[in-house]
Amino acid sequence: MELLKTNGNLIKLFAPKLKKGGSLYLFGKPDCIDFIDYRPFLKLNSKIVWYQPSRLAQGRKNYTNNYDIICYFSKGEPKTFNLDDIRVPQLVELEHRRRCENVPSVKNGKWGKTRFNNKGKNPGDVWGDIKQLTYKSKELVSRNVLNTIQKPEKLIERIVKASSNIGEVVLDPFIGVGTTAVVCQKLNRKFIGFEQNIDFITMANKRLEELENEQKYSFSFY
Amino acid sequence: MELLKTNGNLIKLFAPKLKKGGSLYLFGKPDCIDFIDYRPFLKLNSKIVWYQPSRLAQGRKNYTNNYDIICYFSKGEPKTFNLDDIRVPQLVELEHRRRCENVPSVKNGKWGKTRFNNKGKNPGDVWGDIKQLTYKSKELVSRNVLNTIQKPEKLIERIVKASSNIGEVVLDPFIGVGTTAVVCQKLNRKFIGFEQNIDFITMANKRLEELENEQKYSFSFY
């Protein structure tokens, strides 16, 4: 319940800072916005399910929780949704979709112009293709941030790509070890981050320096 | 918003009819219980994500919605949760789990006694293994009930097996073409169903008769 109050306050606090058409993503467990009336502040577009199929935890008294929710809000209608930058491979669905396109009701009905897109498909609102970091991940900056603090770059990249354009500003009020900063640096977005833990800030700055050196190095080839 | 009011009323109406420890499952879209304060009536144990990876719909302005929510409530602590009856194969996670068990922190830490279960694993709260019916499904009783009314038997079976025992009563207040009745008949549960549409009742009764004939027939072999 404390967390719910916190999330409600976050929405109230950050919504006025957001530009019209801007996006806000809130991470949490499945119940993270239950009972919070966000409607006076923001529009909820999606509750994205970030799904981890291979958790060890195996409860005996309930269906084991295997996912987190990412609430995708916007201030009014979203100004930016760069679908083409976040398309994912069709993979197993390819054959299914090809078959669907030949169904008479699809062919001749109101979906007659629906065609399989070779550039890939909308990632949808269930993301099972991005694994949480493990103790083996090269990305992991410290064991202390495993499974709680550090998020995979791929996850933040999808969000930053979808909801911002090059040169725009991304704010991460709980930036931790700096994943959002690193992603923004790579994708040519500006960023602002807040963090209370001084060790995390040190790690974040180290990551940014390393990235800058890599970027310099790779430029020298061209 | 009308639907939210309906769902709130359903919870208020059915919770008093439920025995202590009994379970209630509510189907809906991701926002189906937003803003409903169910807490005076029921305990929410899980929000199960029923995931359809291969939908044709491909929105361009949002992450395409690929899932429904099944809210698993109970009246107080659930009396029945038959995990062993709903275990699913380990499949792809098998190797991952075997590896995890040999991680030093798992082996010697507080998870030291966690072992891979050969009978299968908890299905978790993301169900991608049960496909929605298509126009080709043998189960489908009529094209008119496709994608909206008729649910796959496998879906209802998992729920009935997990949250009821043989001989107990299952109530489905919107029984449609009778899937819950058929499943209960197969699994030796009693059932009560309500339905307004007379055509659906006809189809449901036909399904039950056919099942009864099959069951008689199969008995004659023994």
Shortest distance, CA A64 to any CA of chain B (angstroms) = 4
- Domains of chain B, earliest start first: 1-81 (no CATH), 131-222 (3.40.50.150)
Q: How many CB pairs under 8 A join A and B?
A: 136
Shortest distance, CA A195 to any CA of chain B (angstroms) = 29
Contacts of A112 in chain B (CB under 8 A): none
Q: Which residues of A134-147 are buried (b: 16+ CB within 10 A; e: fewer)?
A: eeeeeebbeeebbe
Query: What whole-number distance in Å separates Cα of residue B68 and Cα of residue B27?
Result: 7
Binary contact (A48, B63; C-beta < 8 A): yes
For an interface test with B, the pick among A25, A34, A63, A85 (most B C-beta atoms closer than 10 Å) comes out as A63
CB of B102 less than 8 A from some CB of A: no
pLDDT of res. B108: 66
**Cα–Cα distances in angstroms (integers) from residue B191 to residues A169, B87, B151, B167, B205, in the given order:** 57, 24, 17, 10, 13
pLDDT digits (tens, 9 = 90+) for A146-163: 767 899 999 999 999 999
CB of B24 less than 8 A from some CB of A: no
Residue B129 Cα to chain centre, angstroms: 12
Query: What whole-number distance in Å separates Cα of residue A150 and Cα of residue A181?
Result: 12
Give the ipTM.
Answer: 0.88
With a cut of 90, say whether residue B12 has pLDDT above it.
yes
Q: Determine how many CB atoms are found less than 10 A away from the CB of residue A13.
A: 11
Residue B220 Cα to chain centre, angstroms: 32
Handedness of CA A200, A183, A193, A176 (dihedral sign): negative
CB of B94 less than 8 A from some CB of A: no
User: What stretches of B115-197 show up as alpha helix (H) in DSSP?
Assistant: 153-163, 179-186
Binary contact (B63, A44; C-beta < 8 A): no
pLDDT digits (tens, 9 = 90+) for A58-100: 789 999 999 999 999 999 999 999 999 999 887 645 555 566 6
pLDDT digits (tens, 9 = 90+) for B114-148: 666 778 889 999 998 898 898 888 999 988 887 67
Query: What whole-number distance in Å separates Cα of residue A39 and Cα of residue B34?
Result: 11
Which of B37, B96, B114 has the CB atom closest to A54's CB atom?
Answer: B96
Query: What whole-number distance in Å separates Cα of residue B72 and Cα of residue B43?
Result: 9
pLDDT digits (tens, 9 = 90+) for B72-97: 999 999 999 999 999 988 764 555 55
Search chain A and give the residue with CA nearest B70: A63
